[in-house]
Amino acid sequence: MFEMFIFFCLWSLPGVFGVDAVQSVSVTEGESVTLNVTDIQINDEIEWRFGQILIAEINKKNYKSTFYDDNADGRFRDRLKLDQTGSLIITNTRTTDSGLYIVYSSTRNTLLNTFNLTVFAPLPVPVLGIYCPKNSSSSSQQNCSLVCSVENVGHVTLSWYKGNSLLSSISVSDLSRSLSLHLECLDDSYSCVVNNPIRNQTQHLDLSQITCSDCRCCGSTEAVIRLVLAVLLGMLVGVILALLVSGCRPRNLLQKKNVRERAMDRDLTYADVLE
């Protein structure tokens, strides 16, 4: 066991046993992938391993292939092929196929290639909707948010864009988590994108197709109109107050004039009349 541990440690070092580097390969679940082997000789007997588990062999001299379907918990049953070059083909890939693949020449006792395969789950299209807290009302639109969400995805990034500009994003590696990003309801220039290293799915915001049950989506045009109306209303209130103030002043002057005239008619002083 210790010797096997040392052997696998040496495999990870560049240049050992003819291997320059581990090759990273990515594919979406359900697709086929080919792991191409190099430096094959005519008399080579080639072994393919998933980690330390033997899964396939081929004799280059007579092209006889053998598959060990019951190994690796039977996960590769009826899904492995070997072409004449000795390259391994995995059909109908699954996320459980992710891992380290090693091809080895038992004839020459030489490691030929090492592959790190990552199988990504298919990306769902993001779902857009409206979120309103329970304590919000139809009048408190600022408490309502536009939500972009995806479920049961792993090794992805979920992002909000305005045009081509990134606004916010969140990443997760756990396949069982749900992701959501909140954005204030504004206009149609926004889009939500979920992506992994090889794929992406985009959902563009269309306010006309979103049902706002607890609050209204406030578009940019409506926001401008409401702002203008608020300014006009403020100006109107100011004009009314100014008219009221200016109307009160002549009325007070007229009242004082009438009091003086009455005092003169009765030979009374202005102070007497006031008493």
What percentage of the chain reaches a pLDDT higher than 70? 65
- pLDDT tens, position by position, 101-131: 999 999 889 999 999 999 998 999 998 887 7
Query: Would you say residue 214 has pLDDT above 50?
Result: no
The stretch 94-101 carries a mean pLDDT of: 95
Where do the structural domains in the chain lie, given as residue ranges? 2-120, 127-218, 222-274
Q: What residues contact 107, with CB distance under 8 A and at least 6 apart?
A: 41, 43, 44, 45
Structure tokens that stand for 234 in this block: 């403020």
Give the long-range contacts of residues 57-63, CB within 8 A, separation 24 or more: 58/82, 58/86, 60/86
Q: How many angstroms separate the CA atoms of 195 and 150, rounded?
A: 11
Burial environment of residue 79 by CB neighbours within 10 A (0 to 12, 13 to 18, 19 or more) = middle
SS3 (DSSP) at 217: coil
pTM of the model: 0.63
Q: How many angstroms separate the CA atoms of 115 and 137, rounded?
A: 56
Q: Return phi, psi of residue 170, to 5°.
A: -145, 140
Q: Return phi, psi of residue 177, to 5°.
A: -85, 155
Q: How many angstroms separate the CA atoms of 20 and 67, rounded?
A: 27
pLDDT at 195: 93
Pick from 101, 61, 56, 62: nearest CA to 82: 56
2-120 and 127-218, same CATH topology: yes
Report the topology of domain 2-120: Immunoglobulin-like (2.60.40)
Q: How many angstroms separate the CA atoms of 39 and 46, rounded?
A: 11
DSSP state of 246: H
Domain 127-218, what architecture?
Sandwich (2.60)
Strands (E), 19-155: 23-28, 33-35, 45-50, 53-59, 64-67, 80-82, 88-90, 99-105, 110-120, 127-131, 145-151
pLDDT at 177: 61
pLDDT band at 133 (very low <50, low <70, confident <90, very high): low
- pLDDT tens, position by position, 37-54: 987 888 889 999 999 999
Average pLDDT over all residues of the chain: 76
Query: Would you say residue 19 has pLDDT above 50?
Result: no
pLDDT at 272: 52
Q: How many angstroms separate the CA atoms of 55 and 51, rounded?
A: 10
Of 141 and 90, the one with more pLDDT: 90
